[in-house]
Structure 1
């Protein structure tokens, strides 16, 4: 992993062995990623990715495994799609005028035999400490196929006390305490409420990192939903912020309702996310 930092930003460690996703995220010497306090889903790719602060699922599938249509052997799309564990080819890594930028190409082999290309750019504004991500996914297969994407931002819930709240215009009533839903964990997915094409939420204040608040924003034209997940079933102790391209229903219903995002060969779709911890 490579450390990526500028100015007021946290120290994030980009994993070139898996998509250039984020592993540790260090704020004042504290790793706010969950590390091994995660559920064991039986997939070592996801175990490796889930212990970090951000990983990407897609582009051929999101969420839990579903059958590959027309596959006589009964194979399924893997947990959270095929992205995880693909090696990133870093094409740019620079620190200029107090800002930072890293770019990579990630050729991806899909579960059904197709291919895709992820072109990824990370940027840090050193003056504000904001970290931003720009992704472009291109269908490099020889036929039209659907594309999906979800960002999993995973935070170590061991750092939270009862004062930590989630707040967003996307939430009923504008927000609530971090222990939403039933114990020992819960999940929900809502339409993301946008302003100028972006949706935002905050998590905090987090006393264990100096009362700081995590702010996350994401583009709603291609990520129109916000999924939230938490799991406090031992040994897991994690909260997930998950901007996502599709509703929380199974793949067959999405297809039946005409909600696949189809890409022709050579066609691309772009996504954007940014966060700060201030």
Structure 2
């Protein structure tokens, strides 16, 4: 953001952008705390403080980037952790966090019963700090930090400390998460970032960008999209067969560049609009591409994770289940950037 264009012309930084907290007062989300973040360059998004600081609505100029479910934002329901209860309050949005001990379908074994995608997205954050930008003082960065606790007596007791940050004049969202085991015993740990993209970014012909060795979800033999000979890297028209619960997914061993960074995302050539999602292979080695082209439920998901969403039991059987020792922590860094410059879009596509 060129300082010369606004120097001596503003007195309140909110005229350029920043963070505004609020409480929804109508509809299913009534009473839910949120924060609107405006980057001042077209990108603005809603952080749902009462839902693990996940991100709901996200826009670049007039274009929505995220898919929103019929419900949209709802208050947290901490006991929606049995069977498929998670779906009942799934608002979609740009980001829904899954975990922290289980990602995947409902299951039960000798280690307990676990509902779809875990508890963390139904847990409110305790906000620690909000730092507003101060462009008059040359400080363009803004950030919000909170703690989300997934805990119970006798464990597990995990703490997610999340910071969402950006800079005025940059169409970028940065997420830094730290997960700490506050228990006195080891705790299983699985984490998946459920990014949900929708129209108009996602449309017929939109490029779906990722690299890596892939397999259809858990080797499904009848996967109609992720199969050799089918172009699953382009957005589809709405599909009758995806009405109701129809969907397909692929598990991808994400390819990294020389610095260890993985990049995926979407590009709509009709809008000259791309979204790049970047994460570290050492932190999040897996990527899931979820495609659900239902009429009125038109979604593409790109989901970095510690594991594919196969569930705790299968990860344990494959010897791929992470355990955090008491006091042990893991850090996760992700970045979402909106691209409109032709040269930068070409770099993004050529490095896919």
Q: Same fold (TM over 0.5)?
A: yes
Query: Which of 261, 264, 269 is residue 198 of structure 1 equivalent to?
Result: 261
In the TM superposition, residue 157 of structure 1 has moved relative to its aligned partner by 4.2
Identify the range of structure 1 (12-21 vs 125-134) with the bigger mean alpha-carbon deviation. 125-134
Identify the structure with the greater helix proportion.
2
- Structure-1-length-normalised TM-score: 0.86
In the TM superposition, residue 112 of structure 1 has moved relative to its aligned partner by 8.7
User: How many residues are aligned here?
Assistant: 269
Judged with a 3 Å threshold, the aligned counterparts in structure 2 of structure 1 residues 120 and 254 are, in CA distance, closer, same or farther, namely: same
Q: Could you tell me which residue of structure 1 aligns to residue 95 of structure 2?
A: 54
The residue matched to 1:67 in structure 2 has which SS? strand
In the TM superposition, residue 82 of structure 1 has moved relative to its aligned partner by 1.3
Query: Which of 125, 128, 145 is residue 88 of structure 1 equivalent to?
Result: 125
Unaligned runs of 5+ in 2: 1-33, 72-81, 134-138, 215-227, 340-352
Q: Could you tell me which residue of structure 2 aligns to residue 139 of structure 1?
A: 181
CA–CA distance in structure 1, aligned partners of residues 267 and 249 of structure 2:
19
CA–CA distance in structure 1, aligned partners of residues 177 and 326 of structure 2:
18
Q: Could you tell me which residue of structure 2 aligns to residue 263 of structure 1?
A: 324
Judged with a 3 Å threshold, the aligned counterparts in structure 2 of structure 1 residues 6 and 70 are, in CA distance, closer, same or farther, namely: closer
User: Larger C-alpha radius of gyration, 1 or 2?
Assistant: 2
CA–CA distance in structure 2, aligned partners of residues 9 and 158 of structure 1:
16
In the TM superposition, residue 92 of structure 1 has moved relative to its aligned partner by 1.5
In the TM superposition, residue 86 of structure 1 has moved relative to its aligned partner by 0.7
Tell whether the 8 Å contact from 1:37 to 1:235 is kept in structure 2 after alignment.
no
Residues 180-199 of structure 1 mapped to structure 2, 5 A cutoff: 184=242, 185-195=247-257, 196-199=259-262
Q: Could you tell me which residue of structure 1 aligns to residue 104 of structure 2?
A: 63
In the TM superposition, residue 201 of structure 1 has moved relative to its aligned partner by 1.3
Judged with a 3 Å threshold, the aligned counterparts in structure 2 of structure 1 residues 42 and 231 are, in CA distance, closer, same or farther, namely: farther
Q: Which digits, 9 at most, give the CA deviation of each residue in 1:131-166, with x for residues without a partner?
A: 110001111122102111000110114653333101
CA–CA distance in structure 2, aligned partners of residues 154 and 81 of structure 1:
17
Identify the range of structure 1 (133-142 vs 183-192) with the bigger mean alpha-carbon deviation. 183-192
Structure 1 vs Structure 2 CA RMSD: 2.8
Q: Which has the higher contact order (CA 8 A, sep 6+)?
A: 1
Judged with a 3 Å threshold, the aligned counterparts in structure 2 of structure 1 residues 249 and 107 are, in CA distance, closer, same or farther, namely: closer
Tell whether the 8 Å contact from 2:105 to 2:310 is kept in structure 1 after alignment.
no
Residues 1-278 of structure 1 mapped to structure 2, 5 A cutoff: 1-8=34-41, 10-36=43-69, 45-71=86-112, 76-96=113-133, 97-109=139-151, 113-157=155-199, 159-170=201-212, 176-179=233-236, 184=242, 185-195=247-257, 196-205=259-268, 207=270, 210-278=271-339
CA–CA distance in structure 1, aligned partners of residues 212 and 140 of structure 2:
34
